[in-house]
Structure 1
Amino acid sequence: MVDFSKIVDYFKSTPIPQNMLNRGQLVLNNFLKPIQNLFEQKNVPQKPWTESQIEFLLQTLSNMDTDKDDKASRVGEREARIASSLHLKTSAGFCHGVGRSGFLTAPQPKAPGGSIMYELSNYLALNFLKKFGLPNVKKAIVVPLCTGMSFSVMFRCFTSG
């Protein structure tokens, strides 16, 4: 397992000067710090992230899901499969749904990374609600909606009563 906070230790006995290694470690640590803050604080970041940081987090969490395990036998009607590289890109590599057996907030056994992402999404939704004037809200969940349901909810807002 690579510990990114100590990556330079792997190269101490190489011709790369220590000051260069230290500088590289500093840059890497600065890149990873917002992700660490998100995990620790579970709040909306004060400073915007770069696209690279967002992609790194999504790719890392996506790689935790069992459909990425090259040693696993991916058999079964519920196993995540993607045939299109476009779909893989637009889903950020997340192939499993959320919830389990009727419980929307339950962790998905084959998707530890997706479950972490869902948990973070719920924390961020709660943080947003509190910041926008609902300080007494205790819990929030993000509910995925299909396109048809989204349109139905949106059009329902336009009706009276």
Structure 2
Amino acid sequence: MNSEIFSLSERLVSSSYVRQGLQARRGHEQLIRLLLQQGKCPEEGWSESTVELFLNELAVMDSNNFLGNCGVGEREGRVASGLVARRHYRLIHGIGRSGDIAAVQPKAAGSSLLNKITNSVVLDVLRFTGTLCYSLTMISVSLMHYRIEMMWSCAGRASASPSLDVLITLLTLGANGYKKLLAERKELYGHLAQELSALAERHGERLLHTPHNPISLAMSLNRLQTHSTAAVTQLGSMLFTRQVSGARVVPLGVEQTVSGHAFRGFMSHADAYPCPYLNAASAIGITRDDITLCIKRLDKCLKSLSKEASAEKSESGSPAEDVEPLVISIRGSCLID
């Protein structure tokens, strides 16, 4: 609604009420104006109403949303389901042109603007956070989804969905909200390391030394390996069925052939790592409750497997072997789940 429409509204509703509405509208518009002027992630996150207003304004700039539009081309942003249209805020047309998916699409000014401003905001986030693993991971994931979306798009078009998701997230968080998540993640990394180290010690294992990895941690599974390789892989299954997701168990000597190429030490960061291990990560969004529940359930699983192994040893008449844990140093590893 522009000022003329607000003036016309005063014929129907008290002018004082209309002015209040106009001031509220201008508050949203000021945030959008600053975003377009500066191309930076806002310091404070936007409300959902501001984000939706911005997206709706962008959507009406695409030709598939023009009133009275007559599209006779092959790629006109048509959708059969209104649910799909609403899911994407009617930004359906896509971005790019034949030969250059980054080019501005004449029939989709709104989607093209969305893509340009998203790239600018992401670069700003990388600037104030530094090119650390977690920022690069976020961008890598976005690009991965971007490529997948492109495969399903018509020739000469790319989906604007990845840009839409990233922009909504960053505008909602704001720079301060994103920095807060990074600080919380760093703090919880220390907490996870402390809890995992204590758990490992109770079970005769140790937290692996990974000084160059600020996100992922790993604990050895040497004692479990002495029982059987099956026990190591069983631990991963047990954790998953107990709703512990993301904890990755890496057994010894796994080989996997992919498209004719054999990979030794599959799932591990090295061809022949000296011990099996369990990997857990303190990624953005993890909570203290996540860590508490994970450690509690992991402890129960290790106790259960140890008890089963002891029972099997007793039945076979051979005592369980007591093996000293290895001291492992991982230099420059990435161990990212």
Question: TM-score, with normalisation over the residues of structure 2?
Answer: 0.38
1:27-72 residue CA offsets vs partner (Å, 9 max, x unmatched): 2212322112111111101111111111111111111111112332
Structure ID, larger Rg: 2
CA distance in 2 between counterparts of 1:19 and 1:97 reads 42
Q: Which residue is equivalent to 2:2?
A: 3
Deviation of residue 93 (structure 1)? 0.8
Verify the 8 A CA contact 2:64 2:78 in the aligned structure 1.
yes
Are residues 159 and 42 of structure 1, via their aligned partners in 2, closer, same or farther at CA, if it must alter by over 3 Å? farther
Q: Which residue is equivalent to 1:90?
A: 87
Are residues 15 and 111 of structure 1, via their aligned partners in 2, closer, same or farther at CA, if it must alter by over 3 Å? closer
Q: How many residues of Structure 1 are paired with residues of Structure 2 in the alignment?
A: 144
AA of the residue aligned to 2:113: I
What pairs with 1:48-67 in structure 2 (closer than 5 Å)? 48-67=45-64
Q: Which residue is equivalent to 2:116?
A: 119
Any unmatched runs of 5+ in structure 1? 135-139, 150-157
1:54-93 residue CA offsets vs partner (Å, 9 max, x unmatched): 1111111111111112332211212210001121122121
1:85-126 residue CA offsets vs partner (Å, 9 max, x unmatched): 121122121112221122122001210110111111111111
Q: Which residue is equivalent to 1:69?
A: 66
Deviation of residue 17 (structure 1)? 4.4
Residue 105 (structure 1) aligned to one of 95, 102, 115: 102
Are residues 83 and 11 of structure 1, via their aligned partners in 2, closer, same or farther at CA, if it must alter by over 3 Å? closer
AA of the residue aligned to 1:3: N
AA of the residue aligned to 1:9: S
What is the root-mean-square deviation in Å for CA atoms of aligned residues?
Answer: 2.8
Residue 20 (structure 1) aligned to one of 17, 22, 25: 17
Deviation of residue 16 (structure 1)? 4.5
Verify the 8 A CA contact 1:59 1:92 in the aligned structure 2.
yes
Verify the 8 A CA contact 1:7 1:25 in the aligned structure 2.
no
CA distance in 2 between counterparts of 1:90 and 1:130 reads 31
CA distance in 1 between counterparts of 2:56 and 2:13 reads 29
SS in structure 2 at match of 1:146? helix
Are residues 160 and 100 of structure 1, via their aligned partners in 2, closer, same or farther at CA, if it must alter by over 3 Å? farther
Deviation of residue 160 (structure 1)? 3.9
Verify the 8 A CA contact 2:59 2:110 in the aligned structure 1.
yes
Q: Which residue is equivalent to 1:146?
A: 148
Question: Percent identity of the aligned residues?
Answer: 29
Q: Which residue is equivalent to 2:36?
A: 39
CA distance in 1 between counterparts of 2:51 and 2:22 reads 20
Verify the 8 A CA contact 2:65 2:90 in the aligned structure 1.
no
Q: Which residue is equivalent to 2:209?
A: none
CA distance in 2 between counterparts of 1:92 and 1:30 reads 22
SS in structure 2 at match of 1:116? helix
Question: TM-score, with normalisation over the residues of structure 1?
Answer: 0.75
| Structure with the higher strand share, 1 or 2 | 2
Are residues 8 and 77 of structure 1, via their aligned partners in 2, closer, same or farther at CA, if it must alter by over 3 Å? closer
